[in-house]
A and B are shown apart, each in its own frame.
Chain A
Amino acid sequence: MEIVSLWVIAFFSLCIFSYLYRNNPFYKFAIHVILGLMVGYMFLQQVLIGLEQLVVSPILEELGQPSPDPFDILIQRVLPLLVASLIFTIFVPEQRWLSRIPIGLLLGYGMGYMLTKSLEADVFKQLNATLTQSIAVISGDSIFRSRWPAWGQFLPGLSALTVIVLTIFYRFRMQHPTIRTIIYIALSLFILSLADSIMILVGVLAVLSYFFFSFERRGLVEEVSRVGLVFMMVYFGAVFGNTVLTRVQIFIGQVDFLVFEWLGGTWQALFGG
């Protein structure tokens, strides 16, 4: 039995790998076998067992009780089943719109659930985390302040102020390149004078501004959103480079199986080597 299963696994793995050369009958065969199996599996697990657990056995249990409650059965089991089965009107062209009702209920549920959850978990929590980190760094002492405590106190506020004031100037009064450079210098000074978490904050702000839809990308917005784009590119590059390792490792594991467990196991089974 061991050998058989080894060979089955190896056969299917090789069939899949053969796609790397080109689409071929072996690959198609393997894929369609899996497709058939999984459709059957889903049918079994989702439809049969689902029906049994959600509708049949609860109703049986209820009827098994000394005093079954018909109302309960109707509202909680039969009615949902009826509404859900409206989806089958997809096969009746003129009554097809009825199938939208269960779909609508499903989507309404999902999106209503999503709205609060994502607003709470992603928006508020993430903003909170970002802010807390950077505040912890500012009110606590940072690399910069620990080195030059004397004016390290003022520098963050000073440079931030410079950035803001000059930016306002640049935006409305004089669009002079030197001012822009000064802004950049002050900005980098500001970032340096604080710490990584401020870097994170700046990155978050920049990337957020990349996603502004309602202004033309011009002037300051363009500058900032380009910084944001750079941040994102750094992230994407790092993620990509980091993933190569694990993915290749998976393939190595596969090769290890094929070579040692499959071939080696077969060899042992045949010649007891």
Chain B
Amino acid sequence: MWRKLLSLNTRYIYLAIVVMVVIPVILKVPLPTSPSEPTQKLFDHIDTLEAGDGIWFFLDTRPATTAIHRPQLHVLLHHCFSKGIKVVGFNPLAPEATGMGRPFIQEIAVQYGKQEYTDWAYMGYTPAGLAVFNAMSKDIKGLYSQDVTGKAFDEIPVLQQFRKYSDVGLVITLAGLKTPGYWVRYAQTPYKFPFASGVTGPMIADQFPFLNAGQMVGMMGGILGAAEYEGLLKSNNIRKQFGIASASMFVQTVVHYILVAIIILANIATFIINKQDEKDRQTRDVARARIDSGIE
């Protein structure tokens, strides 16, 4: 039985993974998570904003991390649109992300019946490099003459009231690159506005200094952060059901635990089998010795 386990065809493992992933994702089986402190703080900050306030979000990421930043952006948008907060998105530091922002917002905006240009807008990329940090403290019109759809700046009402850091209630960067450090250093420290970040798993550890220094009002750490935020949305009756993030956290947990389990099992199996082989060898030797003695 142990040997069968060791000589297990990998296809079964693949099948198991497919089952473990697909079913919970379809059923959206949620993993209720207890919110960690940074996520709680971020939620509280957005909760304090009034209807008509605005937040800026920045997609400093690549399409490869869509699976992490899409849920993060979605929970934010759910929270904002349900409270009537207006949203403007940019990706001035990551040209690859230009295609990502607008569809992400549209998915949620239709659920709340929010109009583009009046309730939200996506501005896309502008080749200003690190100069954006300074320029956005004055007026984003200096950076953008039109939005990602090519609509002129002056014809987009939502932009007219949120033109610099001091106009918005929160600036949050969804970062797959090393940009949160830049934001804190070049933008938040000199111009002093509420700032937060949503980052991928490996980057979480780097954010704590900023959080402790109060340079970030909160942080969403990886997909887990998004899941915690969904839990908060649910517990505050902002959304009825959990989203993809909680579901994927459930999937992650299952996959991880089962993986660990089979690894340990396989090790036990190897251990036992080695023991058995040892015993067999000894018995064989004894038998051979007896035979030899018999011959003697």
Contact = CB atoms under 8 A, between A and B. Distances in A.
B26 A244 contact: no
A252 B11 contact: no
Given A20-B11, A249-B248, A256 B25 contact: yes
B100 to A, nearest CB: 12
A246 B223 CA distance: 9
Interface stretch (B138-146, B149-157, B251-259): B251-259
B202 A249 contact: no
Given A21-B11, A249-B68, A244 B22 contact: no
B207 interface: no
A251 interface: yes
A245 B201 contact: yes
A242 interface: yes
A21 B200 CA distance: 31
Interface string B50-82: 000000000000001011101000000000000
A249 B11 contact: no
A53 to B, nearest CB: 19
- Of B26, B67, B248, B252, most buried by chain A (CB within 10 Å of CB) is B67
Contact of B25 (A20, A242, A246, A259): A259
Chain A interface, >50% SS class: helix
What class of interface size applies to chain B in its complex with A? 20 to 34
B200 A255 contact: no
A246 B224 CA distance: 11
A256 B243 CA distance: 11
Interface in B246-290: 248, 251-252, 255-256, 259
A246 B251 contact: no
Interface in B233-254: 244, 248, 251-252
B202 A250 contact: no
B86 to A, nearest CB: 27
Nearest to B13: A20
A248 B201 CA distance: 12
Contacts of B14: 20-21
Interface in A231-273: 242, 244-246, 248-256, 259
Contact of A242 (B64, B70, B202, B259): B202
9 contacts: A245-B201, A245-B252, A245-B256, A251-B17, A253-B66, A253-B67, A253-B248, A254-B67, A256-B67
Interface of A: 20-21, 242, 244-246, 248-256, 259
Interface of B: 11, 14, 17, 21-22, 25-26, 64, 66-68, 70, 200-202, 222-223, 244, 248, 251-252, 255-256, 259
